[in-house]
Structure 1
Amino acid sequence: MGIFDALNTSVGGLQAQSFALQNISGNIANAQTTGYKGIATAFSDLIPDSTTPNRQVAGGVTAYSVATISSQGTVSASTVGTYMAITGDGFFNVQSPTGTVDNQPVFSGVTDYTRRGDFQVNANGNLVNSAGYYLMGVPVDPKTGNPLGNVPQVLQFQNNFIPAQATTTLQYAANLPAVPSTQSSSTATAGTITAAGGLNPGDFTSGFNPLVVGTPAPPYTDATTSGSPATNQQTPPVAITSGTLLSGTAPSNSLPTGFAVGDTITVDGTMITFTDVSTAVPPGAQDPTHVRIDDTVGDLLSKIGAITGQAPTIDASTGAITLHTGTVQNLSVTSASAGWTAMGFGATTNTARGGGGTAGAGVVIANDQTMFQQESISGGAVTVYDATGTAVNLQLRWAKTDSASLGAGHSDTWNLFYQANPNATNTQPAWINVGTNFTFGTNGQLSSPVGSSITIPGVTVGTQSLGNLTLNLGSGGLTQYASSGGNATVNAINQNGYAAGQLQSVAVNNDGIVVGTFSNGQNLSLAQVSLSHFNGTNYLKALDGGAYAVTDESGPAIAGASGHISGSSLEGSNTDIADEFTKLIVTQQAYSANTKVITTANSMVQDLLNVLR
């Protein structure tokens, strides 16, 4: 019955070619689909059993799909920062939501895999591709850059907030001129440091030497001075015989009657004047230079604290008031008012120093600022941050303290200063010497200190405490070469602090790191995109939207992949249109040939039937 077998075989051939045509049409239809992997068709012959080889005949045919998942598509650049493409082996880990609850996606926990990298941030802060698959990865600590675990999870970047980071390190690189252009050098006595363009300690106020003698001056710390128990009135009034001690908290006590309109108290050069009750300033108003005589003790002390940076305190058991220097400067309070004496202090009061040493070593006071600026050059400025994220303008200046041009025993030496108080007055410290002698050799290279960094202790600018700062100079970062302008050339001045910030946008870099741009100008790592690979890549089960599911033949997903992620890129379809058109022609011809076999077999059967007639 070979004729009828031929008919069946031809029908099988038509089915196989139809199967091939279906795959070809699908490949052509997805020629522009992102990350699409074409499906090829393989044909397999079906040979009927035969007892002897010489009686074996050609059998039928069946068609199978052959995946080309491992075949790379063309990678092209994109302007979308969250798009990404994989070059080489690997798949993005994704999940598809099963529904939503309170507008938040709900997931089944089943991970799928895709090469389709057209991810964008949705309203909930997830990275979702155009097929609806949610990207997975490992969150990263934005401050340290270290991954937070190793198990991929659906990424979400909604309302990410980073707390402030205090400045701890300054990166600095500069060239100091061999001969600085200081104003004093042209008129200075020959053979002196000022004639060589440097700083002369003798030009500064006695008792305040801008140079560090011996060990660096300690940073300012809080020093106090306490008055005797005060005889302030209490509210409500009580009978006062020999005087009633101040008790309780300051706002509950009124000012002594010894204060009169026009009395003044001078705190660190700032005068506080007492006014009458008819003044337009309401009681307790935040006017740092006036106090009404009907104000409370607390009002006066808070205004003193606003000037010093640290409010005075009261011993509730004795009524004694303690003044604080704070951590920025010395404290000077003067008054000739009887009320001030009644509060427990003498007519003229000078408090202890807050620090810096009794000789004022390494300190430039406000009265000496003009001379200091004439004998020093700018070293640049940088915005640094305290622990709360408050921005602080850190000004630097360099002063040449010794010069090799002065002869034997001298070397080119510089001191670095920072501005401690931009609003300093009188004897308040305005600039602080960092306490290190920077010495240069004849070749202009830094010879001392040895190493790439120094520590600047106890840095405080105004009322903002920054603590110890590390100044990193790097290798060859600080030099002394001749400069025509006589100014410092600052090549780099950076720091590692920042204010708190809110997430503004995200993008993916070429290392597969999701980087967030924050309102404080910081670009910080938020997550690492996870990749997986398989031993049997082409045996994955294709799902809608360019995703794949694990099968027994593919094996389980293996974390990591040799492929490389390219940010702002997309992988296109791996379909070759020319190749598909060639297959289309061959398939059409094969299909037509099978129909001819059916026609021929039918004619032969008709001839056979005609024999019987």
Structure 2
Amino acid sequence: MGIFDALNTAVAGLQAQSFALQNISGNIANAQTTGYKRIGTSFVDLVPQATTPDRQVAGSVTAYARSTISSQGTVSAASVATYMAINGDGFFSVQKAVGTTDNVPVFSGVTNYTRRGDFQVNANGNLVNGAGYYLMGVAVDPKTGNPLGNVPQVLQFQNNFVPAQATSTIQYAANLPTKPTTPASTTAPAGSLLGAGGLNPADFSQNPLPLGTPAAPFGDATATGTAASNKAAPPVAITAATTLSGAAPSNSLTTNFVAGNTITVNGQVINFVDTGSTAGTTAIGVVPINIDISDTVGTLLAKIGALTGVPPTIDPATGAITLHTGTASNLSITSTAPAFGALGFTSPTNAIRTGGGTAGTGFVVGNDIDAFQKQSISGGAVTAYNAAGTPVNLQLRWVKTDSATLGTPHQDSWNLFYQSDPAATGAEVGWVNIGTTFTFAPNGSLTSPTGSAIALPNVTVSGQTLGDLSFNVGSGGLTQFASTGGAATINTIQQNGYAAGQLQSVAISNSGVVIGTFSNGQNINLAAVTLSHFNGTNYLKSLDGGAYGVTDQSGPAIIGASGTISGSSLEGSNTDIADEFTKLIVTQQAYSANTKVITTANSMVQDLLNVLR
């Protein structure tokens, strides 16, 4: 070793410090580059061999790049929905186009990796970052968001179309008032179901309660015949002792009953016979009931009373008979002439209807809509969709069918209706009862039905078929608490159908799922962004634009990194300006020191050459 070796060593020092300066320059230049990873410099001494340690001298130097790829940059929020950053370990899988064919990018098939997440959708529907790299990922199940594979492909979202989905479930939650305020309840008698905000089936031509509901109880109506007298001389008003037949001037009906006459009361035949004995009448329940024509009016009226529940009465002054319908059913009486007329009634037929109503039909017809709206409260509305994606306005109304305020055994009960035909008239069905009675406990909790889902079969609205729907109230979703307004408070009313839609925009969620927003208002999962990691992360080969290539030292990419994706965010450069400036000063001083070595060695060489002069 000698002076010339010292010159060469100083030159190597200049080269090493120049290499370090170049890295510092690049780091400072990329201090604002998204996802940039600074490059440090490592110096390695080159020690010349010597036979003995005491003859070794300090050797030359060389410089190597030291990657900091595994060092996290600062993550900052961004306003672009497709930007994303990685927190922790991992890389985005990307490819770079090598050309285009018919304006469609062509890829080499080589996958690179990057942490630069400033991706935006281009004209072809690809997600491309600021350096021109195309994002890769895997398709997902639009319902669950779970990946449908594990092999990343270049993502493209162009002209994505989602078909219509028919409504199958309605999610509902509401509070029904303990006393609903309806137009009819404000004028109804106190203590009546109508006065308690309920619905009176007797006000409808068809009972709107659920199909098969027993008819409302009948009231006891009456019908009174004309004055009736007997054959006595002079004639007087008939009594219960007046016989059905007999010769004048006896206490018998003016017109005799004869064998073969019949009276039918609500389908039960009373047959008049001539046996000469009043003891042989047949008991109630046997068809026909036989009554001897020599029996009395009182016996006949008792038979009729046994069938109606309330015995007829006789006016002692006029002999006029009053028939009672009772509360069991309509009273219908037919007879063969002149039997019924002999009692003072129109012969041969007479029928009395009490107005109790019919059994439940589950429908509200056009003629009853006005009464229905006056005796019900709004249950809200929701836009449902049929299989073709046609929107259907589904209107709901609640009616209270029983009230605990009426005393035992009454309890708070409700029925729900949906509007099937807004233009219904006459006998056309306008509203349909869903067929379930909702019963509430005194504390306002729902006691029946116990399940959360109620089936609505064959729902059709304005000619649009929705099919079978599930009306889901969930646990605690339907209550009955006091409400000062007397109206239903709708907390939730949602459905799961939608019309067909075209993709409008995409965004990246914090779970790394690409979510598409469609023209029908639906947000649907489209793809999942995959993250890869390496055993030798810092041995990746740096490429243009913050991308990295696989090397033997880095090892192959392993799908499934531990890092997480943060949507609408970007990872900044990990360059520390203060640190780089400090290194810059040290490098400058080291470079200057090496130049001093060259100057000194040069002076020594000059002195050596002067020896020869």
The answer to whether structure 1 residue 193 and structure 2 residue 193 are counterparts is yes
1:408 match? 408
Trace 1:414-429 onto structure 2 (pairs within 5 A): 414-429=414-429
Contact 1:127 1:156 in 2 (8 A): yes
Q: CA deviation at 1:75?
A: 1.4
Instruction: Quote the Cα distance in structure 2 between the aligned partners of 1:529 and 1:384.
Output: 33
Could you tell me which residue of structure 1 aligns to residue 606 of structure 2?
606
Q: How many residues align?
A: 470
Q: Is 1:81 aligned with 2:81?
A: yes
Q: How far, CA to CA, are the matches of 1:579 and 1:474 in structure 2? A: 60
Letter in 2 for 1:450: T
Other-structure match for 2:524:
524
Equivalents in 2 of 1:42, 1:599: separation in Å? 26
Find the residue that maps to 2:408 and give its secondary structure.
coil
Secondary structure (helix, strand or coil) at the match of 2:528 reads strand
Query: Is 1:563–2:563 an aligned residue pair?
Result: yes
Matches within 5 A, 1:508-587: 508-587=508-587
Shift of 1:143: 4.8
- 1:23 partnered with 2:23: yes
Q: CA deviation at 1:118?
A: 1.1
Post-superposition Cα deviations, 1:157-209, rounded to whole Å, max 9, x if no partner, equal 1111110000011111111001100122233344332121111111110x443
In 2, the alpha carbon distance for the partners of 1:480 and 1:524 equals 36
2:401–2:415 Cα contact (<8 Å) kept: yes
What corresponds to 1:213 in structure 2?
212
Q: In 1, Cα distance between the equivalents of 2:610 and 2:20?
A: 38
CA–CA separation in structure 2 for the residues paired with 1:523 and 1:431 = 34
SS at match of 2:176: strand
Contact 2:209 2:415 in 1 (8 A): no
SS of equivalent residue, structure 1 residue 28: helix
User: What pairs with 1:381-460 in structure 2 (closer than 5 Å)?
Assistant: 381-460=381-460
Within a 5 Å distance, the mapping from 1:158-237 to structure 2 comes to 158-205=158-205, 207-213=206-212
- Return the letter of the residue paired with 1:29: A
Letter of the aligned partner of 1:548 in structure 2? Y
Map 1:142-161 onto structure 2 (within 5 A): 142-143=142-143, 145-161=145-161
- Give the residue type in structure 2 aligned to 1:99: G
Q: For residue 88 of structure 1, report the CA deviation from its aligned partner.
A: 1.2
Instruction: Give the letter for the 2:430 counterpart.
Output: A
- 2:88 counterpart letter in structure 1: G
Amino acid at match of 1:203: D
After superposition, the C-alpha distances for 1:201-244 in whole angstroms (9 at most, x for unaligned) are 11110x443334359xxxxxxxxxxxxxxxxxxxxxxxxxxxxx
| 1:530-586 deviation per Cα after TM superposition (whole angstroms, max 9, x unaligned) | 111111111100001111000111111011111111111111111111111111110
What is aligned with 2:64?
A: 64
Residues 422, 143 of structure 1: CA spacing in aligned structure 2 closer, same or farther, 3 A cutoff? farther
Does the aligned pair in 1 maintain the 2:210–2:436 contact within 8 Å? no
Q: How far apart are 1:508 and its partner, in Å?
A: 1.2
1:482 aligns with 2:473: no
Shift of 1:377: 0.3
Structure 1 CA distance for aligned equivalents of residues 144 and 384 of structure 2: 19
Q: Please state whether the residue corresponding to 2:515 is helix, strand or coil.
A: strand
Matched, 1:4 2:25: no
Distance 1:452 1:595 in 2: 87
Distance 2:184 2:21 in 1: 92
Per the alignment, residue 14 of structure 1 pairs with 14
Deviations 1:124-158 (CA, angstroms, capped at 9, x unpaired): 11111121111111123435544333211111111
Cα-to-partner distance string for 1:330-381 (whole Å, 9 max, x where unaligned) = xxxxxxxxxxxxxxxxxxxxxxxxxxxx966211111111111111100000
The residue type paired with residue 4 of structure 1 is F
**Normalised TM-score (structure 2):** 0.75
Q: Please give the secondary structure, in 1, of the residue aligned with 2:165.
A: coil
Name the counterpart of 1:370.
Answer: 370
Looking at structure 2, the residues matched to 490 and 91 of structure 1 have their Cα atoms a distance apart, in angstroms, of 47
Q: Which amino acid aligns with 1:25?
A: S
Deviation larger for 165-174 or 44-53: 44-53
Q: Secondary structure at the match of 2:471?
A: strand
- The residue aligned with 1:312 is none
Aligned twin of 2:135 = 135
Q: Which moved more, 1:73-82 or 1:10-19?
A: 73-82
Q: Structure 1: which 5+ residue stretches go unaligned?
A: 216-357
User: What do residues 261-314 of structure 1 show as CA deviations (whole Å, max 9, x unaligned)?
Assistant: xxxxxxxxxxxxxxxxxxxxxxxxxxxxxxxxxxxxxxxxxxxxxxxxxxxxxx
Partner of 2:353 in structure 1? none
| Kept after mapping to 2: 8 A contact 1:142/1:162 | no
Aligned partner of 1:595 in structure 2 is: 595
Give the TM-score of the pair, scaled to structure 1: 0.75
TM superposition shift of 1:4: 2.2
Residues in 1 aligned to 2:587 and 2:491: alpha-carbon distance in whole angstroms: 69
Tell me if the contact between 2:212 and 2:359 (Cα under 8 Å) persists in the aligned partners. Answer: no
Residues 374 and 214 of structure 1, relative CA distance in 2, 3 Å threshold: closer
Partner residue, 1:93 = 93
Secondary structure in structure 2 of the residue aligned to 1:492: strand
Distance 1:367 1:529 in 2: 60
Distance 1:509 1:565 in 2: 8
Amino acid of the structure 2 residue aligned with 1:182: T
Percent identical pairs in the alignment equals 75
Distance 1:584 1:40 in 2: 12
Counterpart position of 2:251: none
Aligned partners of 1:57 and 1:209: how far apart in 2?
110
Give the 3-state SS of the residue equivalent to 2:51 in structure 1: coil
Which whole-Å deviations, capped at 9, do the CAs of 1:507-537 have from their partners, x for residues lacking one? 1121111111111111111111111111111
Rg larger in structure: 2
- The Cα offsets for residues 82-135 of structure 1, whole Å up to 9 and x where unpaired, read as 111111111111001111111101111110011111111111111111211111
Assess, with a 3 A threshold, how the Cα gap between structure 1 residues 150 and 85 changes in structure 2: closer, same or farther. same
CA contact (8 A) 2:420 2:429 kept: yes
> Quick check: 1:201–1:211 contact (8 Å CA) kept in 2?
no
> Is the partner of 1:177 in helix, strand or coil?
coil
Q: Which amino acid in 2 is paired with 1:48?
A: P
Distance in 2, matches of 1:143 and 1:153, equals: 21
**Secondary structure at 1:66's aligned position in 2?**
strand
One-letter amino acid matched to 1:398: W
CA distance in 2, matches of 1:429, 1:52: 113
Alignment partner, residue 348 of structure 2? none
1-structure distance, mates of 2:32, 2:189: 82
One-letter amino acid matched to 2:466? L
Q: Residue by residue, what CA displacement relative to the aligned partner does 1:315-336 show, whole Å, maximum 9, x if unpaired?
A: xxxxxxxxxxxxxxxxxxxxxx
Please say which of residues 1-10 and 366-375 is displaced more in the overlay.
1-10
Alignment of 1:267-306 (within 5 A): none
Q: Report the 3-state secondary structure (helix = DSSP H, G, I; strand = E; otherwise coil) of the residue aligned with 1:372.
A: helix
Give the aligned residue type for 2:209: P
Which residue does the alignment assign to 1:308? none
**Contact conserved, 2:211 with 2:360, CA < 8 A, in 1?**
no
Conserved? CA contact 1:208–1:365, under 8 Å: no
What letter matches 1:487 in structure 2? A
Q: Deviations over 1:429-458 (max 9, x none)?
A: 111111111111111111111132222122
SS for the counterpart of 1:434 is strand
The CA distance in 1 between the partners of 2:132 and 2:456, in whole Å, is 54
d(CA) in 1 for partners of 2:163, 2:141 = 12
Q: CA deviation at 1:478?
A: 0.9
Could you report, residue by residue, the CA deviation over 1:1-56 in whole angstroms, capped at 9, with x for unpaired residues?
33222112111111100100010111111111111111000111111222332322
Contiguous gaps of at least 5 residues in structure 2 = 215-357
Q: Following TM superposition, by how much is the alpha carbon of 1:504 offset from its aligned partner in structure 2, in angstroms?
A: 1.1
Partners of 2:36 and 2:116 within 8 A in 1: yes
CA-to-partner distance for each residue in 1:572-610, whole Å, 9 max, x for gaps?
111111111111110000000001111111222222333
How far apart in 2 are the matches of 1:481 and 1:487?
11
